[in-house]
Structure 1
Amino acid sequence: MTGQETRTKKRELILDAAEALFSRHGYDGVTLRAIAKMADVDVALANYYFGPKRDLFEAVFMRRAKVLNSWRLEALEAVIEEAQPNAPSVRCIIEAYFAPLLTRSHVHDEGWKNYYALIGYVNSSHEWGGQLMSQQFDPLIDRFLEALKMAIPDVSEENLYWAYHCLSGALTLALAQTGRIDHLSNGLCRSDDLSGAHSHIVNFITAGFEQLKDMPEKKKTATPGDAAAPV
C-alpha cells in the first residue's frame, strides 16, 4: 500500500468511526479521543486531517450527502426527460426522490445505516438542521420543488412548502430506524425494512401532494387596520 493509499484509508477509518459515534450519541456526546480510539489512530492524526470536532462532524455529513444528491438528481432528470413535452407526474417525481434512498443495496450497509440515523439527528436539531441540511441538500430540494410546480402548477407555494415539510418529517423518521413502528405494530412492520417501507411512503406522500390541487387558498386574516369587508 502506497503512502497516499495509507493516508486515504486512515481518513476513511476516522470518518467511519465518527459517523458511527455521532449517529449513536449526537455531537455533544462524542469526543475526538473516542473517535480516534474507535478508528485505531492517534487523536493528533484525526485533528490533523479534519481540524476541530465541529469540522469533522461537517465532513462526515458532507461525505455521503454528495452521493445521495447525485443519485436523486439523476433519477429526477430521467423522469423529467421521459415525460417531455409534458410535465412529469407527481408520483414519478416522488418516486425519484425516495427510490434512490430506500431501495438500493446500500441500505443494508452498516455505514449507510449510521449515516441515515445521523440525518435524523441533524434534521431535528436546532443547532444543525438549518445549517447543514440547507448547505448540503437545498439545491437538490429546490430542483424537486420546481418539478412539483410543473406537475401541480395551480398549487400555492405555501401549500407546496408545507407539504414538503411533512415529506421531510416522514423521511427523517424512516431513515432514523428507531424501532418505534416495530413496537406499535407488534412486529408486523420493521423500521429497518426501508425497501418494504418505500411503497407505503411513496403512496402516502404522492396522495398528499395530489390532494393539494383541491385545497382552497388560505384566506388572509383581517387585522384592525384593514378595511371592513363587504357583507
Structure 2
Amino acid sequence: MTDAGGTRRGERTRTRLLDAAECLFAEKGFHGVTVRAIARQADSDPALVAYYFGGKRELFDAVLLRRAEELNTIRLAELEACEANAGPDGPTLEAIIHAFTHPLLDRSANGGPGWKSYFALVGQVTNSPEWGVAIMSKYFDPIVRHFLDAVRRALPDAPEEELFWSYHFLSGALVLTFADTGRVDALSGGLCKSSDLEAVTERMPEFLAAGFQRLAQRQSNKKQEAETVS
C-alpha cells in the first residue's frame, strides 16, 4: 500500500511539473523559463525536475511528447475513418483536410487551458529555426506523411513540389490560428474573432482544399497557356 501511495504521489508530482512547464514554456519560451520557476509553479522541489526528467531540455521534450502521442493517435483514427467511410471514389480533399485539422482545432477550443498552452508552444516551436525542424520532425512527421499520402490519392496527378508547398501553407494557417493574436478582430472591426475556432473549423478545409487543387493544376495550366501562346 505504501509503494502504491508513493507511486501515485510521484505521478501527481510529475504531472504538476509537466503542467507548470507547459504553461510557462508557452508564455515565455524555453530560454525564458528556469527550472526553479517551473518547480515553484508546481509547488515542488527543483531537484525533482532532475529526478523525473533529467533536466530542462528533457522536461521540454516530455511536455511536447505527452500531448503529441494522444493527438497523433486521434488524428490517425480520423484520417483512417475518413478514408474507410468514403465511397468508391475515396474521400474528398476537404474531408481529408478536415480529418487532419479537426482534432487540433477541437482540442484548442474545448480541451481546456492545458491544450491552449500546448498549441501556443507548438506554434512557437514551428516558427523557430532553433527547434522547428528537429522537434516537429520528431513528433509530427509520421502523421503528416500519412496525411500527404491521403492527399496524393485524392490528387494523383499533383506534382510532389506543389503538395509540399500546399502543406507548408496549411501549417502556417494552423500556427496563426493557434496564436490567437486578435489581428483579424481588429481588421474586421469585430466582425471576425481569432478565438472563434468554430468559424475556423467551418472554413479552413474549404479554403485550403481550393489552394491544394489550384497548385496541383499549376503546371498543367502553365503548359496550356504556353501552348495557346505558341
The answer for the alignment partner of 1:126 in structure 2 is 129
Under a length normalisation based on structure 2, what TM-score does the superposition of the two structures give? Answer: 0.90
SS of 2:181's partner is coil
Out of 51, 54, 59, the residue aligned to residue 56 of structure 1 is: 59
1:70 and 2:73 matched: yes
Report the identity percentage. Answer: 49
Aligned residue number for residue 14 of structure 2: 11
* Aligned-partner residue type, residue 110 of structure 1: P
Contact 2:108 2:119 in 1 (8 A): no
SS in 1 for 2:67: helix
Aligned pair in 2 of structure 1 residues 108, 66: CA closer, same or farther (>3 Å)?
Answer: closer
Once structures 1 and 2 are overlaid, which stretch shifts more, 88-97 or 186-195? Answer: 186-195
Question: Which of 148, 158, 163 is the aligned partner of 1:160?
Answer: 163
* Cα distance in 2, alignment partners of residues 146 and 87 from structure 1: 13
Deviation at 1:128, TM superposition (A): 0.8
Runs of 5+ consecutive residues of structure 1 not aligned to the other structure = 220-230
Aligned residues, how many? Answer: 220
Structure 2 equivalent of residue 210 of structure 1: 213
Q: Deviations over 1:29-58 (max 9, x none)?
A: 000000000000000011211111111111
For 1:146-193, what per-residue CA distance to the aligned partner results, in whole angstroms no more than 9, with x for missing partners? 010000010100000000000000001111222222222222222222
Alpha-carbon distance, 1:98 to partner: 1.3
Aligned equivalents of 2:172 and 2:221: distance in 1? 23
Query: Structure 2: where are the runs of 5+ without partners?
Result: 223-229
CA distance, structure 2, for counterparts of residue 144 and residue 157 of structure 1: 14
- Alignment check: 8 A CA contact 1:156 1:217 kept: no
Residues 180 and 191, structure 1, Cα contact 8 Å, conserved in 2: yes
Superposed CA deviations along residues 96-116 of structure 1, whole A, max 9, x for unmatched, are: 011111135863501010001
1:86: how far off? Answer: 3.1
Moved more, 198-207 or 142-151: 198-207
In 2, Cα distance between equivalents of 1:145 and 1:192: 28
Please state whether the residue corresponding to 2:157 is helix, strand or coil. coil
The Cα of 1:202 is off from its aligned counterpart by 1.6
Residue 104 to residue 44, structure 1, CA distance change in 2 (3 Å): closer
CA distance in 1 between counterparts of 2:28 and 2:220 reads 43
CA distance, structure 1, for counterparts of residue 179 and residue 87 of structure 2: 36
Q: Which has the higher mean CA deviation after the structures are superposed, 136-145 or 98-107?
A: 98-107
> Contact 2:49–2:56 (CA<8 Å) still a contact in 1?
no
